Structure 1
Amino acid sequence: MLKTILALPRAVWLIGLISLVNDSASEMLYPLMPLYLASVLMAGPKALGIIEGIAEATSSIFKLVSGVIVDRTKKAKPWIVLGYTLAGIGRPLIAIANSWIWVLAIRFTDRMGKGLRSSPRDALLAESVNENQRGVTFGLHRSMDNAGAVIGPLLAAIFLSIGTPLKDIFLWAIVPAIITFTLALCIKEPQKEAVPQASKFSWSLQGMPDQFKRYLVVAGIFALANSSDMFLLLRAREAGVPQEQIPLLWAAISLITTVFGTPLSALSDSFGRKRFILIAWIAFALFYIAMGFPGITTYQIFALFGIYGLFKAATEGVEKALVADMAPKGLAGTAFGWFNLITGLMLFPASFIFGWIYESIAPLYAFLFSGGCALVAFLLMAFWVYRNKAHCDVV
């Protein structure tokens, strides 16, 4: 496996490095957002749900736009550069926000940047390798991305331990933004196989296989269960995890995902994507149900977050490899665009509903709602997505 990883094209490694640096900045700030909103801007779970829901929905819309455009123009690099630039500009501006409305506007810009870069980047990765290397390719990318998610929270923890004000930590995000922009300019796109082009842009699912359409439905239901991770950090803080350990807790999740993401995704190239996804989704459901119970201890939270890290490791690369497997030739960008659109748009109702239940009723019922949605998605994935198919695993 190590030989296969080292032999991956330069573009795969460069994109992974860009994601590592970018996520170092993003994840340095991510675990601080609930603290910043609550302690500086005096905003609660409802505001958090609105901010994250709108931000992720925005990202999803632009993922479809950029995906369709990259299939038409066959140029991914300009959108990748623009996307990282917008994100890099937006994050430091949170330091000067004086209300949660301003944070919403800044997160909107940040997520728009993510939307513009994600589908072109995923399509470029899929086109840079052979079909039997997609699992390891997307796994490596997600591992490097999550390595940044280890570095970022550790930096946040260091800043907090030396008494750095929250606003100043946000300002430091400009440094990795400059590095990311410079690296993105060095991307070279692979030679693309000539395929017939449509005479006009197509924003529909026309030409996509039925199995992919069913998978979109199921992925959307699971996304309804997967509200913003900020609620997990908020729950951990309310359960007694000290403020300075919150970034470390988030870093631990990312470390687990970094270590296990590549080997698990690589195994899906031979073991099958479906099995990995099903096992991970049932683990997710149990994790959310357990997180909601009153009286949960800090030790139990750390153990549960470890399970959550394994869930992310087993799905992040595999789900994208499955999309690439199902996408017709020349429509990888559009397929990733639709997948990202559906899963991202569902994050708005997911975060809004979760935040409302959390604040208005009780945390337990919010977590039970997410766990229930995950169980429904599990059943549909197991018995509906692959119907009328001779074999159940895409390899």
Structure 2
Amino acid sequence: MKTITRTVWILSLVSLFTDMASEMLYPIMPIYLESIGFSILLIGVLEGLVEAVAGLSKGYFGQLSDSKAKRAPFVQLGYSFSALSKPMMAFFIYPLWIFFVRTVDRLGKGIRTGARDAMLSAETTKANKGKVFGFHRSMDTLGAVLGPALALLYLYFNPKDYINLFYIAFIPGVLAVVASFLLKDKKVETASKNVINKQPKKKIGFFSFIKYWKQSSSEYRKVVIGLLFFALFNSSDVFLLLKAKDAGLDDTWVIGIYIFYNLIFALTAYPLGSFADKIGLKKMFVFGLIIFSIVYFGMGLTTNLYAIIALFFGYGIFGAATEGISKAWITNLAKDENTATAIGTFTAFQSIVAMIASVVAGLLWFYFGASVTFFVTAIATVFVIIYFLGNASLNKIITQSQKTTK
């Protein structure tokens, strides 16, 4: 079986173009919103609400994708929503309109996530799953390098010209949508087809995906509990960037170090994913957590600029060793007909938990300072590492999985 298939290439290019468009705007979004009258509080409320909408929708649309036995339409619609939202930001500056546009953008992510990852999983075997998901994350993150770099270049020659940047970001967004229409669905068995007497399909409600938690295997729940506990302390990258700014970097260099982190991520995701197939997905994920805890302990201890740059290098390694790997791991624990639901359920809970994590981190930073924020996260991560290493059931699952691929 060819490891990087046509479908994997298309999905990876679609993600690259979409991330290029999104990350082109990510560094300037708070600046733009402030320039049109948004307070820091209103920006926080806006981003929190739209992320909650996106998070919950991942579970719903993942289950809907499994129910319909379709992947490509959800991928195409989701990326179309995200692309259309880019120029819409420049039309009006009213708060309700901005909220609507940001919701459309994040809803697009919710629609596509479960179906896209299920489509990726269908192109793999257990022997190459880490490599395929790693390749996809590598291409996706390459967009996070190119987008901010292009934004910096444009704003260097056109300072504060944010409006036109929204129109420019529409171009890679359109390329992503065009590429997504090259995707073709494979035949997907639905859970209902496997039920005796073919009982009528149950109506899918917005929160129906929560029921999957009870129906899923104990192995799935054990893994997801560990992942969610980690997500509860893995706050927004903004806090790391604030640390870099406190160390003496100006705004341009802060964006530069963000690009540097994404570049390391992009360069290492594929080889680490490939290596994960050899040593086991769990071992690679735990390796990433160890790097993460070192980075956060380091951020809490140092104010040295060069040390912080080195820690951002480590943070890129962490991302490469965990983001794609966690989804690959989850797909190994789900039946083919429930893959999108399994991914959607996890990412829905993860989005909500991540929002809580950023609020908690902000409160810790405000009341106790940056060092305490980073130390608490690092210590919590150590407990997650112990949880995964000490869970005999997980070890048994990985061992059995490796035996079946030999």
Do they fold alike, i.e. is TM over 0.5?
yes
CA drift at 1:18: 0.4
> Paired residue for 1:66?
61
Give distance in 1, aligned partners of 2:364 and 2:400: 37
Q: How many residues align?
A: 389
Q: In the alignment, is the contact (CA less than 8 A) between 1:139 and 1:263 conserved in 2?
A: yes
Q: Look up the SS of the partner of 2:155 in the other structure.
A: helix
> Paired residue for 1:265?
273
> Paired residue for 2:223?
215
Which stretch has the larger CA shift, 101-110 or 156-165?
101-110
1:101/1:116 Cα in 2 relative to 1: closer, same or farther (>3 Å)?
same
Cα displacement string for residues 239-266 of structure 1 (whole angstroms, at most 9, x for unaligned residues): 3212222332122111111111011111
> Paired residue for 1:368?
375
Q: In the alignment, is the contact (CA less than 8 A) between 2:69 and 2:189 conserved in 1?
A: no
Unmatched 5+ residue regions in structure 1? none
Q: In the alignment, is the contact (CA less than 8 A) between 1:63 and 1:118 conserved in 2?
A: yes
CA drift at 1:97: 6.4
Give distance in 2, aligned partners of 1:269 and 1:190: 24
1:240 aligns with 2:248: yes
1:223/1:184 Cα in 2 relative to 1: closer, same or farther (>3 Å)?
same
Give distance in 2, aligned partners of 1:250 and 1:336: 27
> Paired residue for 1:127?
122
CA drift at 1:101: 7.0
Unmatched 5+ residue regions in structure 2? 196-200
1:355 aligns with 2:362: yes
> Paired residue for 1:137?
132
1:102/1:384 Cα in 2 relative to 1: closer, same or farther (>3 Å)?
farther
Letter in 2 for 1:219: L
Cα displacement string for residues 137-165 of structure 1 (whole angstroms, at most 9, x for unaligned residues): 11111011011111111101202221332
Q: Look up the SS of the partner of 1:241 in the other structure.
A: coil
Letter in 2 for 1:155: L
1:184 aligns with 2:180: yes
Letter in 2 for 1:154: A
Identical aligned residues as a percent? 31
1:175/1:134 Cα in 2 relative to 1: closer, same or farther (>3 Å)?
same
Give distance in 2, aligned partners of 1:359 and 1:376: 25
> Paired residue for 2:287?
279
TM-score, length of structure 2 as denominator length: 0.87
Letter in 2 for 1:208: S
Match 1:15 to one of 11, 24, 30: 11
Q: Look up the SS of the partner of 1:225 in the other structure.
A: coil
The runs of at least 4 consecutive aligned structure 1 residues that moved more than 6 Å come to none
Q: In the alignment, is the contact (CA less than 8 A) between 2:388 and 2:394 conserved in 1?
A: no
TM-score, length of structure 1 as denominator length: 0.89
Q: In the alignment, is the contact (CA less than 8 A) between 1:77 and 1:189 conserved in 2?
A: yes
> Paired residue for 2:24?
28
1:237/1:104 Cα in 2 relative to 1: closer, same or farther (>3 Å)?
farther
> Paired residue for 2:336?
329
Letter in 2 for 1:22: T
Give distance in 2, aligned partners of 1:388 and 1:328: 20
CA drift at 1:102: 5.8
1:316/1:42 Cα in 2 relative to 1: closer, same or farther (>3 Å)?
same
Give distance in 2, aligned partners of 1:194 and 1:289: 46
1:88 aligns with 2:83: yes
1:229/1:86 Cα in 2 relative to 1: closer, same or farther (>3 Å)?
same
Give distance in 1, aligned partners of 2:80 and 2:190: 30
Give distance in 1, aligned partners of 2:168 and 2:246: 28
Give distance in 1, aligned partners of 2:168 and 2:87: 7
1:310/1:333 Cα in 2 relative to 1: closer, same or farther (>3 Å)?
same
1:309 aligns with 2:316: yes
CA drift at 1:286: 2.3
CA drift at 1:167: 3.6
Over the residues paired in the alignment, what is the CA RMSD in angstroms? Answer: 2.6
Letter in 1 for 2:291: A
Give distance in 1, aligned partners of 2:72 and 2:396: 36
CA drift at 1:297: 2.9
> Paired residue for 1:77?
72
Give distance in 2, aligned partners of 1:356 and 1:36: 25
1:160 aligns with 2:167: no
